[in-house]
Amino acid sequence: MWRLNDLANEQSGPEVIAAFVKLLPGKPGVYRMLNKAGDVLYVGKARSLKNRVSSYTRAGGHTNRIAAMIAATSSMEFVTTASEAEALLLEANLIKKLKPHFNVVMRDDKSFPYILIARDHAAAQITKHRGARSRKGEYFGPFASAGAVNRTINAMQKAFLLRTCSDSVYDNRTRPCLLFQIKRCAGPCTGEVSQTEYEKLVASATAFLQGKSSSIRADLVKSMESASDNLDFEQAAVYRDRISALSHVSANQGINPHTLKEADVFALYQEGGQTSIQVFFFRAGQNWGNKAYFPRADKSFSSSQVLAAFLSQFYDDRPIPKLVLLSEDVAERELLENAFTTRAGRRVHVDVPKRGEKRALVEHAAVNAREALGRRLANSQSQGKLLDGVMKVFGLERRPRRIEVYDNSHIQGTNAVGGMIVAGAEGFSKPHYRKFNIKWKETDTGDDYAMMREVLTRRFSRLLKEHDDDRGSEQADAMPYWPDLVLIDGGRGQLSVVRECLAELGIEDVLVAGVAKGPDRDAGREHIYLHGRKPFMLEKRDPVLYYIQRLRDEAHRFAIGTHRARRKKTMAANPLDEIAGIGPGRKKSLLRAFGSAREVSRASKNDLEKVEGISQSMAQVIWDHFNGQG
């Protein structure tokens, strides 16, 4: 990669770009256009960097978007690649990472959940999985949402009776758990089912997720009829319930293709300057859910340009199926195929079906895309009216584009956390939520004022450090870095603390308001505190009041959830983890031998030495740790 800042000097626009063109090779690669502040304006790829970049030096003939981009460019960066397909993959990665203003940007890049049948234990476990595939076992997915995975696992527990408990729980059980009692687990932990029979259940579950549902159902029907013929009606009822559970999985998957085994279906719909892309996931001949995306794109982009850019970003870090179906053709379909084939390590086809079942699937996705965008536009219109009301109530000069709400949570000062939620034109913006573990030594975790001071100081100190130059900037349709309004849960005291905190940082242009619960904490009678004004209340039926309540309740929910997660983690901490040299293997051996960490702490050195993997010296280390001699 190279960057030629010395060519730019104080110039910007076509002159700067022309200076770069003279030194560019006619090779494939990726280029970045930067403004004077060093922010990336645009990331593009090219078969020939020289030819592509030189097109920006022409006078006239550009769209308003490209003309503005050229005018703002003061420097460029370049990376050459071995092929145009490789350039496409690199471009997608950089766009997702940098989110340039002039590119089409996929706004939701959260990883998809999978079903994992884990094989790193004698008794296989079925569980939900996200992230790196580090555990040994079979992965099935992706599923469109965690809800789709949970529903499928729930039904598969009833159908195949596989365990969902963790290995540590499994290894320490002495009698069957409740899931065995309600016929959702075969109980391998206590020998209620033999290892051989349990492996048969695991094999059936794996076959079902591989698309062999009809043969699995046929085997269960045959077993049910055999049990019934032998007058074993109790066992026949078990098979009946398992068949019913399998039918429930299929019924909840909606449309299921007959001729399509593995594919992703993409359909795009545009209206009102916005774009909706609906994605359906089909694996093993089953519908594993769908999800709507709303990429950020300038109105000058055509629908095919948006779809092509979205596809390359979508598969930047996701597994690619054998077949990708589109609602409309894209100019670089062959290039996308080559790039996807390179990434997947096998042949990938990108098609635009014209007839048959595949076309029906695309049309079904298109209907969902249109309906999803309709709901979004309706929500954004109502959200706009609410924000106009907030602007009027709080005396803002313009409709707020970013509202931050803060709340704290603790129990008698323990596991204290602060939470920040963010809302804007599109409702709650969860990617911008932040949690703050209270960690300053001088902060009394039982003092809400002190906790609020720490949270706000840390938040706005970092904002000043990283985005001081962005104060008051428009940032197009993106969520701005700086809030137009800060809401805190509390009255005059909390408001005074926050204002002092911001004043110490030299911040005086952020409006802060306190929202205090009414008498007897009665919802609907909240008092609003603003500096320089008397506390006031809104009418009970005022939509702005309901909106403020929703903001406050969401902040409270987030803070409480964060606190509970931290408390649970603290409670789950094992004293054995604090001992140097005790890894997962030795920890497992100790718990098997003694049953709990408390019993390990009471054991003698001789008893510790008898445990598998515990040497005489390690037994001494463990004994010293628990007896205050470490």
Q: What is the pLDDT of residues 139-174, one digit of tens each?
A: 988 888 888 888 888 888 888 889 999 888 888 888
Q: What is the DSSP string of 443-476?
A: --TT-HHHHHHHHHHHHHHHHHHHHGGGTT---T
Asked whether residue 232 carries a pLDDT value surpassing 80, the answer given is no
The pLDDT of residue 405: 93
Q: Which residue has the tokens 């203003």?
A: 101
Range with top average pLDDT, 155-169, 344-358, 538-552: 344-358
- Where does 575-626 sit in CATH, by number? 1.10.150.20
Its pTM surpasses 0.85: no
pLDDT of 353 > 50? The answer is yes
Instruction: Check residue 574 and give its pLDDT.
Output: 67
Q: Determine the pLDDT at residue 135.
A: 87
How is the chain split into domains, by residue range?
A: 2-98, 114-252, 263-374, 395-570, 575-626
Q: What is the pLDDT of residue 324?
A: 95
- Mean pLDDT of the region 230-249: 73
Q: Is the pLDDT of residue 9 over 80?
A: no
Q: In the predicted model, is pLDDT for residue 372 greater than 80?
A: yes
CATH superfamily of 2-98: GIY-YIG endonuclease (3.40.1440.10)
Question: Is residue 6 pLDDT above 50, yes or no?
Answer: no
Cα dihedral 226→227→230→231 (10° resolution): -140
Angle at the Cα of 533 from the Cα atoms of 528 and 534, rounded to 5 degrees: 65
Task: With a cut of 70, say whether residue 252 has pLDDT above it.
Answer: no
Mean pLDDT of 282-303: 86
For residue 94, pLDDT over 90 is answered with yes
- Exposure pattern of 163-178 as b/e (b: 16+ CB <10 Å)? bbbebeebeeeeebbe
pLDDT at residue 109 in the model: 65
Six token digits for residue 245: 């559970």
Question: How would residue 582 be classed by pLDDT, with cut points 50, 70 and 90?
Answer: confident
DSSP for 154-207 reads HHHHHHH--B-S-HHHHHT-SS--HHHHTTS---GGGTSS-HHHHHHHHHHHHH
pLDDT level of residue 102 (50, 70, 90 thresholds): very high
Under the phi-then-psi rule, with left for phi > 0, alpha for psi from -120 to 50, and beta for the rest, what region is 284? Answer: left
Looking at the chain, the whole-number percentage of residues with pLDDT higher than 90 is 31
Is the pLDDT score of 8 beyond 50?
A: no
Judge residue 588's burial from the number of C-beta atoms within 10 Å of its C-beta, 0-12 exposed, 13-18 middle, 19 or more buried.
middle
pLDDT band at 256 (very low <50, low <70, confident <90, very high): low
Contact 176, 192 (CB under 8 A): yes
Over residues 499-521, mean pLDDT: 84
**Is-contact 44 52, C-beta < 8 A?**
yes
Taking residues 502-506, what's their average pLDDT? 90
How much is the pLDDT for 421? 92
Q: Which residue has the higher pLDDT, 6 or 362?
A: 362
| 546 φψ region: left (φ > 0), alpha (ψ -120 to 50), beta (else) | alpha
Give φ, ψ of 339 to 5 degrees: -65, -45
Grouping H, G, I as helix, E, B as strand and the rest as coil, residue 319 is coil
Token output for 364: 């079904």
Count each helix (H run) and each strand (E run) in the chain, helices first: 20, 19
Average the pLDDT over each of 35-39, 370-374, 591-595 and give the range with the smallest value: 591-595
Helix (H) or strand (E) holding 528: strand 527-530
* Helix H or strand E encompassing 329: none
Q: Could you identify the residue written with the tokens 């003939």?
A: 61
pLDDT at 603 over 90: no
From the list 514, 500, 494, the residue with the least C-alpha distance to 451 is 494
Q: Region 217-239: what's the mean pLDDT?
A: 77
Q: Which of 278, 255, 471 is nearest to 370 (CA)?
A: 278
Which neighbouring-strand residues pair with 436? Answer: 418
Tell me, rounded to whole angstroms, the distance of Cα 551 from its chain centroid.
Answer: 21
Average pLDDT of 296-306? 89
Residue 157's nearest CA partner among 234, 244, 223 is: 244
Residue among 316, 301, 281, 307 nearest 102 (CA): 301
Cα distance between residue 520 and residue 626, in whole Å:
49
% of the chain surpassing 70 pLDDT: 90
Question: Which residue type occupies 319?
Answer: P
Q: Once rounded to an integer, what is the mean pLDDT over residues 591-603?
A: 80
What pLDDT does 272 receive? 77
Same fold, 263-374 and 395-570: yes
Tell me the C-alpha distance between 80 and 82, whole Å: 7
Per-residue pLDDT for 224 more than 90? no
Going by C-alpha positions, the residue among 254, 149, 157, 144 that lies closest to residue 204 is 157
- State yes or no: pLDDT of 309 exceeds 90: yes
In this predicted structure, the answer to whether residue 522 has a pLDDT above a threshold of 70 is: no
CATH homologous superfamily of 263-374: UvrC, RNAse H endonuclease domain (3.30.420.340)
Mean pLDDT, rounded, for 262-284: 90
Instruction: Read off the pLDDT of residues 110-142 as tens digits, 9 standing for 90 and up.
Output: 778 899 999 988 899 999 998 878 889 999 888
| Lowest-pLDDT choice from 315-324, 471-480, 593-602, 606-615 | 471-480
pLDDT for residue 389: 92
Per-residue pLDDT tens over the stretch 186-203: 899 998 989 998 998 998
Q: CB–CB of 170/123 below 8 Å?
A: yes
Question: 214 vs 51, which has greater pLDDT?
Answer: 51
DSSP conformational letter for 578: G
3-class DSSP state for residue 92?
A: helix
Q: What is the reported pLDDT for 328?
A: 94
Q: Please say if the pLDDT value at position 438 is more than 90.
A: no
- Asked if residues 428 and 557 have their Cβ atoms less than 8 Å apart, the reply is no
Q: Given a cut of 90, is residue 86 above it in pLDDT?
A: yes
pLDDT tens per residue, range 382-407: 888 899 999 999 999 899 999 999 98
What average pLDDT does this structure show over 481-489?
A: 91
Burial class (CB in 10 A: 0-12, 13-18, 19+), 489: buried
Q: Is the peptide bond before 142 cis (omega within 30 degrees of 0)?
A: yes
Closest to 158 in 3D by CA, of 230, 248, 32? 248
Average pLDDT of the chain to the nearest whole number: 84
Sheet holding 349-351, edge to edge: 286-293, 274-283, 263-271, 323-326, 349-351
- Number of Cβ within a 10 Å radius of residue 314: 21
Q: Residue 86: helix, strand or coil by DSSP?
A: helix
CATH 3.90.1150.10 fits 395-570, yes or no: no
Q: What average pLDDT does this structure show over 549-563?
A: 86
**Structure confidence at residue 480 as a pLDDT band (50, 70, 90):** confident
Predicted local confidence at residue 264, as pLDDT: 92
pLDDT surpassing 90 at residue 226: no
DSSP, collapsed to helix, strand or coil, labels residue 35 as coil
pLDDT-based confidence at 10, cuts 50/70/90? Answer: low
The SS3 of residue 79 is strand
